[in-house]
A and B are shown apart, each in its own frame.
Chain A
Amino acid sequence: MIVIVPLALAFVLVVSSRVVARLASAAAARRRATAVATACLLTTMIGLALPVELAFAERVAWFPHGLLRSAPLVVSFVTLIAVALAPLATHPPKTMARVLLLAGTAHAALGVVHPATLLFLWGVSAAVVWLELRGSADGNRWDRMFALYHGASVVFLALGVGLLVGGEATRAFATLPVLMAVGIREAVMPGHSWFTRVVERAPMGVVVAFAAPQLGVVVQLELLEPARMLRYDDLVAALAGVTAVSAALLGVIQVHARRGLAYLVISQTGLIALGLVSHNPVGAAGALLNWQVLALATSGFAMTLAALEARRGPLLLHGPNGNFEHTPTLAASLLVFGLASVGFPLTLGFIAEDLLLQGTVSQYPALGLVLVIATAFNGVTVLRMFFYLFTGARHGLRGEHDLSPRERWVSAAVLAALLGFGVCPQPATALHLERDTGGPSRSR
């Protein structure tokens, strides 16, 4: 199965990453990467708006259908956020090239729907992050820790793919290894520990480009949903619920902003995983919208934190240690991104959360009520970060500057999408309603 637009975007991004890697200056690399990401986003938006459907071949389409229809748009947004808001100090040309490469692999996973291709891209994207983690300044081998987790994930996925393509006799047993691979990749507890360290150590653009496209969701939808296999829904739901609630609680106590962010993301991936096993259209739409929110709002939140970190150094949450007056737009940006990511009303996050909870309660009533607690804790994490980073005395922050025009316009575009779809959500929810329940693939 070939899906033309994401495949073409993947090609453009991979070629661009080669070009960007050879540039001498980080500023030039960011400029070039931003131009490419903007072009990719505009192409996706125009393509989705056009009522064109390819007719010459049965197994070729312009865009994915069904639940993944909006995925190229989401990945394009993530790419733009990750490159345009990336601080120069932590994103030299090679790192910027890796961000583009990660975005390219995410598009490619949507462009060629085949288990072997997914396995290949799964491994490539992990290898890109592993390269970025090599040579830690503190002497610890964070790359080894990452390799242990993701090596296991690749092995599990290879086993699952092998069982899937092995025929009807083995297909039924593919679920467990695929779920284990996805569980590690999506940082579902107990396979989550690598993620907090990667968020702490890796450049934020790489973290966003690796985590936000949620390749695990794509694998789950492409490999597991269509096939008639053994199901472990109750087990997955329990683990996802535990992940969502515990990560939300752990996020509240962090003293390092990056670690707090990591637990916020883990909690959200738990919510998404739960929505996917709710097996009703409301829960599935909620899960997919939550993915979009993670991609837009949480990525925006992460990159705004990175922008603040570039101005101020490591961000600690011991108490109020900032000043709102010097950087009001940066502060407002962080607050709105954060609130959107935890489902605050009148943002897309609220709709995602509402659908997810309504869908989950119908399948797992008690678990659905417990999840409400996770969303409460996540809200506290966001406001605690905002208060501790932007309240306090003025001393020592005179040189801190507000959002630059580039940062301001990119943030405004993403916030407009979050608030616009928050007020008029039908286009966003409608993208998930053409659910394809018949064939072996989500694309046609």
Chain B
Amino acid sequence: MNEILLAAIWLLPASAAAMLGIWRWFGGSARESAFAGVTASAFVGAILFGIVLAVRMGSSGITSVAADLGTWFEVDHYRFSWVLIADSLSLPFALLTAVLVGLIGAFSRRYLHREPGFCRFYLLLCLFGAGAELVILAGSLDVVFIGWELVGLTSALLIAFFHERRKPAEHGLRAFVTYRLCDVGLLAATIWLHHIVGHARFETVDAPTAWAGLSPPASTTDIALVGLLMLWASMGKAAQVPIGGWLPRAMEGPTPSSAIFYGGISVHLGAYLLLRAAPMIEASFVVRSAVVTIGALTALHATFVGRVQTDIKSALAYASMTQVGLVFVEVGLGLYTLAVVHIIGHAILRSLQFLRAPSLLHDHHHLEQAMSTVLPRTGAHLERLVPATWQPWLYRHALERGYFDAILREFVVRPVLGLARRIDTIDAAWTTFLARPSRSHPTSVARKHGS
């Protein structure tokens, strides 16, 4: 029974996405109430099943439920099994995801009313919900990867939601490129674990946490390699430095999707992955140090840059980056329970802030009227701590977003793409040479006379 409840938490959003997609493909009507209703039913169902499962586990003293949904495919010694896990890490996150996606669905019904892409938004929301639940409930890295990709794709498509403007499409592509390059880490880690251990399941044996995690392999080199690959994978979704430049650009998407992706769930999935990989991180000083360093640098960078933003959604994006950076530091220092509480609290607060962002001026006036005075500036006490000689430099650094985008563009993207363009040009010239017109051909004669 517990296994069925666990599977239903993922299957409901997945079925809703499939149903809405097939319906639209065959030209089904685009009634807003139907799309919103299917989405709401799926996530309310997921919440109910999650609560019942939590109550059953709590009342019977079970700390972990694993649902083996069977083998997906099998060739020779290699087998891909669908395993989901509900434990003290995944169940709160699964419930939080279902609640937040359900709320965003209810909010968007009015917010996106009569928007041309209304149905597309709900289809992508269901797909995102299914992907996020899969990442959270996955019992192995293999299953994580499936949800991970779904989340990345829906994120990019929703950033480009207002597709008639140029920038959303470009920023959606930018986010997808970052995701895809970072997904290399997750896929490579999974394949390498299969190669050296024979599986990539989360296990409870010798785990330093109260939940299942990745068991470290025997060799320290392998631990460091897999740990660093996992860190690279998590940096993409969590928008950590130096590759987090896509996050403020992602604010081109509709506000409800910004709330659920970059305030609530998606931006925390990187940290969630690290929590599952805690035994691996614990076993390697190199990986631990790297996690703390990346997190601390991101927190510092984002807090400075966030202070010079002139629009509320960008400021909120950098605030999210700061908090996720701090969560990375907590994970690196082994403060796992604190990290879990931090993620849940931050996800709820930041989602609310994103949803209130379009009403910011109204809220501001409301507060000023209530206090009968102008609201005081925040953070002035922090500015006083920075020496005066540093302040102009820090200000420039913040305005240029830490120069990270420029550095990546000049020293990574441009040389690689330049090399590719050079190869392509040579290749095209070679085939043009082979296909040059013969002397007797009319075009060739015309060219000769023309010159």
Interface, chain A (partner B; CB < 8 A): 136, 138-142, 144-145, 148, 193-194, 196-197, 246, 249-250, 252-254, 280-282, 285-286, 319-320, 323-325, 328-329, 332, 339, 344-346, 350-351, 354-355, 357-359, 361-362, 365, 368-369, 372-373, 375-377, 379-380, 383-384, 387-388, 390-394, 412, 425-426, 429, 432-433
Contacts and interface: CB of A to CB of B under 8 A. Distances in A.
B31 to A, nearest CB: 16
Q: Which 7 A-B pairs have the closest CB atoms?
A: A139-B443, A391-B169, A391-B163, A345-B146, A281-B76, A145-B434, A145-B435
Contacts of A357: 187, 191
A253 B421 contact: yes
Q: Which of B187, B192, B441 has the most CB of A within 10 A?
A: B187
Given A140-B436, A324-B163, A145 B431 contact: yes
A376 B184 CA distance: 7
B160 interface: yes
A387 B160 contact: yes
24 contacts: A140-B435, A141-B436, A197-B435, A285-B76, A320-B163, A320-B170, A332-B25, A344-B149, A346-B150, A351-B80, A357-B191, A358-B194, A369-B192, A372-B184, A372-B188, A376-B183, A380-B176, A380-B180, A383-B153, A387-B160, A391-B163, A391-B169, A392-B164, A425-B73
A356 to B, nearest CB: 10
Contacts of A375: 187
B78 A282 contact: yes
A139 B183 CA distance: 45
Interface in B124-149: 142, 145-146, 149
Given A141-B438, A196-B427, A392 B75 contact: no
Interface in B157-206: 160, 163-164, 166, 168-170, 172-173, 176-177, 180-181, 183-184, 187-188, 191-192, 194-195
B80 A354 contact: yes
A58 B434 CA distance: 48
B164 A344 contact: no
A248 to B, nearest CB: 10
A253 B74 CA distance: 37
A387 B188 contact: no
Nearest to B182: A376
A194 B169 contact: no
B66 to A, nearest CB: 21
Contacts of A280: 76
B285 interface: no
B423 A345 contact: no
Given A136-B435, A281-B75, A369-B192, 10 more contacts: A140-B437, A196-B428, A197-B431, A250-B420, A253-B421, A254-B424, A345-B150, A354-B80, A377-B180, A433-B75
Contacts of B77: 282
B149 A194 contact: no
B72 interface: yes
B23 interface: no
A346 B178 CA distance: 22
B403 interface: no
A426 B188 CA distance: 24
Interface in B375-396: none
B164 A394 contact: yes
Q: Which of B75, B142, B160 has the most CB of A within 10 A?
A: B75
B160 A380 contact: no
Interface size range on B against A = 35 or more
A141 B431 contact: no
A256 B104 CA distance: 39
B72 A425 contact: yes
B187 A372 contact: yes
Contacts of B150: 345-346
Interface of B: 24-26, 72-78, 80, 116, 142, 145-146, 149-150, 153, 156, 160, 163-164, 166, 168-170, 172-173, 176-177, 180-181, 183-184, 187-188, 191-192, 194-195, 416-417, 420-421, 423-424, 427-428, 430-432, 434-438, 441-444
A250 B423 contact: yes
Contact of B145 (A345, A390, A392, A425): A345
Contact of A142 (B160, B168, B435): B435
Contacts of B423: 246, 250
Contact of A252 (B191, B420, B441): B420
Contacts of A392: 163-164, 166, 169
A293 to B, nearest CB: 14
A381 to B, nearest CB: 10
Contact of B73 (A320, A351, A380): A351
Given A376-B183, A412-B25, A193 B430 contact: yes
B116 A325 contact: yes
A379 B441 CA distance: 42
B228 to A, nearest CB: 13
A426 B73 contact: yes
Q: Which of B77, B194, B420 has the most CB of A within 10 A?
A: B420
A371 to B, nearest CB: 9
B173 A387 contact: yes
Nearest to B185: A372
Contact of A362 (B163, B183, B195): B195
Contacts of A320: 163, 166, 169-170
Given A425-B72, A429-B74, A139 B444 contact: yes
A405 B142 CA distance: 38
A282 B73 CA distance: 11
Given A139-B437, A253-B424, A345-B150, A358 B78 contact: yes
A193 B427 CA distance: 6
Nearest to A426: B73
Contacts of B180: 376-377, 379-380
Contacts of A359: 78
Contact of A345 (B149, B184, B432): B149
B235 to A, nearest CB: 15
A18 to B, nearest CB: 31
A173 B66 CA distance: 55
B144 to A, nearest CB: 11
A362 B195 CA distance: 6
A379 B153 CA distance: 10
A150 B441 CA distance: 23
Contacts of A432: 75
B410 to A, nearest CB: 17
Contacts of A193: 427, 430-431
A343 to B, nearest CB: 9
A316 B150 CA distance: 28
A346 B191 CA distance: 18
A383 B173 contact: yes
A252 to B, nearest CB: 7
B164 A361 contact: no
B28 to A, nearest CB: 12
Contacts of A383: 153, 156, 173, 176
